[in-house]
Amino acid sequence: MKRQIATEGLGTALLLIGVVGSGIMAETLADGNTALALLANAVATGCMLFVIITILGRLSGAHFNPMVSLFFAWRGELDKSALPGYIGAQVIGGILGVWACHVMFDMTVLQFSTTVRTGTAQWFSEIIASFGLLFVILGGLRARADLVPMLVAMYITGAYWFTSSTSFANPAVTIARMFSDSFAGIRPMDAPGFIVAQIVALIIAIAVLPWLLEKED
């Protein structure tokens, strides 16, 4: 279990390095072109997701997301006693990943985002993005488990563009991104709205996805 928890922390740290690091680089090089910066951010995040899920999936399940861990714990596919360790590692790993980015780019390590991300449209967007992620994971496991890393990477890359919130879809990522005043950040006061939306999506997924995607015996 210690190795599984460490794996979740490492994977989430690498995910945030992909998200925040590419956001900082994109913002620096795009010269004010937000579309180009978002494209670079999305592609880098998708690439990192594919890598970490492929390599670390056999060790911990490659959740890197409290919402995913809660979903599989509810299904009995993750021991509920492991939940605190998984979620704690994901949150701590995410924050450490953000701080690592700040060191790499010679920025102040401890900072808070001023990027405004709030409103009904973005909260609804997070419900769609988060439900979609769980749909892709469970549906992928049922259809082609070997393709799940690619499916998740492709979904998140696309969801950066087809959701108004740019698809956080992850409470640990949401918390970690509060600590970076960069392209990928979110104001601390805005984070609770995103997390509530993600929890709503989790509840909907628990109610709907097993019925929709799993064959009856």
Express each pLDDT in 66-77 by its tens digit: 999 999 999 999
Q: How many CB atoms lie within 10 A of CB 5?
A: 19
Mean pLDDT, all residues of the chain: 96
* Under 8 Å between Cβ of 122 and 198: no
List, for residues 7-28, the tens digit of each pLDDT value.
Answer: 999 999 999 999 999 999 999 9
Inter-CA distances, 188 with 61, 125, 176, 179, 196, Å: 29, 18, 10, 8, 14
- Per-residue model confidence as pLDDT tens digits over 120-134: 999 999 999 999 999
Three-state secondary-structure class, residue 45: helix
Query: Residue 182 above 60 pLDDT?
Result: yes
The whole-number pLDDT of residue 214 equals 79
Phi-psi region of 30 (alpha: psi -120 to 50; beta: other; left: phi over 0): alpha
Residue 133: what pLDDT?
98
Cα angle 107-36-44, degrees, rounded to a multiple of 5: 65
Q: What CA–CA distance (Å, rounded) separates 13 from 100?
A: 9
Mean pLDDT of 151-167: 97
Q: How far apart are the first and last CA of the chain?
A: 32
Cβ neighbours, 10 Å, residue 130: 31
pLDDT 10s digits, 84-123 = 999 999 999 999 999 999 999 999 999 999 999 999 999 9
What does the pLDDT average to over 48-63?
A: 97
Confidence tier at 217 by pLDDT (50, 70, 90): very low
CA contacts within 13 A on the Cβ side of 68: 25
**What Cα–Cα distance (Å) separates residue 52 from each residue in 33, 58, 144, 210, 214?**
29, 11, 18, 26, 27
Distances (CA, A) of 166 to 44, 122, 153: 14, 9, 14
pLDDT of res. 216: 57
Query: Which of 160, 181, 197, 27 has the alpha carbon at shortest distance from 115?
Result: 181
The SS3 of residue 154 is: helix
DSSP summary character for residue 21: I
| Cα–Cα distance for residue pair 212/209, rounded to 1 Å | 5
Tell me the pTM: 0.95
CB 134 within 8 A of CB 208: no
pLDDT of residue 99: 98
